């Protein structure tokens, strides 16, 4: 991977986008992100932090769009990013996007693929695609309403405005706002705590909520019932219940 740095600390993977100056998303960077997510799917990794060098990602490399206009072909970058964000979203472990600088357009869409978003206090996020006469193509019109509600998401998608960190926290885009020089260390420390927990239990929560969201209640409850059944059969479930009865601290192993 030339445009992404991948490091492991204990059971936590740290994925850092590194395409100066602003991590503009192109096919090569998206491919490297996807490869890093694949590495992080290994069972020895129990939590993931994804961040960027100086900026998280200031959106797509717009210069690449001109090639699509010239050739008359569909723009392939959006579909590639869509698949990569979905892969991040479906990782069976907790994930944190640590957002510094800008997370705009595809950058915010990538961050929304994580379970949690931590923003530096000077970060800015948004879906500015409409200012180019286009719309988000990797989940911005779908994940943003799920995070902050339909009407506010419509306003952000239709205005294209940048949102400061404090407003992002108030809206629910951000889960934490911290000083920029503490951002990655805070995310890594929290990820390390998540890594001590019942990894498959976290995965079951993600599965049940993801499959049940927006479906009729009986179908949603079926999804929850299946996820409960799956996680009840794990070693961690036995460990957790046994420790509770014995009034001990459970030692979850992630299986």
Residues marked active site are found at: 109, 129
Query: CA 30 → CA 61, 148, 178, distances in Å?
Result: 11, 26, 27
User: According to DSSP H, which parts of the chain are helical?
Assistant: 27-40, 63-71, 76-89, 106-112, 140-148, 150-159, 165-171, 183-195, 199-212, 217-232, 235-245
Task: Check: CB of residue 203 under 8 Å from CB of residue 180.
Answer: no
Nearest residue to 184 via CA among 53, 47, 35, 92: 53
Q: How many Cα atoms sit within 13 Å of 198 on the Cβ side?
A: 20
Provide the b/e sequence for 1-25 (b: ≥16 CB within 10 Å). bebbeeeeeebbbbbbbebeebbbb
Q: Cis bond leading into 7, ω under 30°?
A: no
């Amino acid at each position: 991977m030339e445009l992404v740095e991948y490091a492991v600390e204990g059971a936590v993977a740290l994925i850092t986008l590194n395409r100066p100056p602003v991590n503009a998303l192109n096919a090569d960077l998206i491919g490297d992100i996807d490869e890093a997510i694949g590495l992080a799917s290994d069972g020895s990794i129990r939590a993931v932090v994804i961040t960027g060098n100086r900026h998280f990602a200031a959106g797509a490399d717009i210069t690449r769009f001109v090639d699509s206009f010239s050739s008359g072909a569909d723009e392939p970058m959006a579909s590639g990013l869509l698949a990569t964000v979905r892969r991040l979203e479906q990782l069976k472990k907790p994930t944190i996007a640590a957002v510094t600088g800008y997370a705009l357009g595809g950058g915010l869409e990538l961050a929304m693929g994580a379970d949690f978003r931590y923003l530096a206090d000077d970060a800015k996020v948004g879906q500015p695609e409409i200012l180019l006469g286009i719309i988000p193509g990797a989940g911005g019109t779908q994940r943003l309403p799920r995070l902050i509600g339909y009407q506010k998401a419509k306003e952000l998608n239709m205005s294209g405005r940048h949102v400061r960190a404090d407003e992002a926290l108030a809206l629910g885009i951000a889960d934490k706002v911290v000083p920029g020089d503490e951002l990655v260390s805070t995310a890594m420390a929290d990820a390390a705590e998540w890594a001590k927990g019942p990894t498959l239990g976290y995965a079951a929560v993600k599965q049940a909520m993801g499959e049940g969201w927006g479906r009729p209640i009986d179908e949603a409850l079926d999804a929850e019932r299946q996820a409960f059944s799956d996680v009840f059969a794990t070693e961690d479930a036995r460990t957790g219940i046994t420790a509770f009865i014995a009034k001990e601290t459970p030692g979850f192993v992630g299986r």
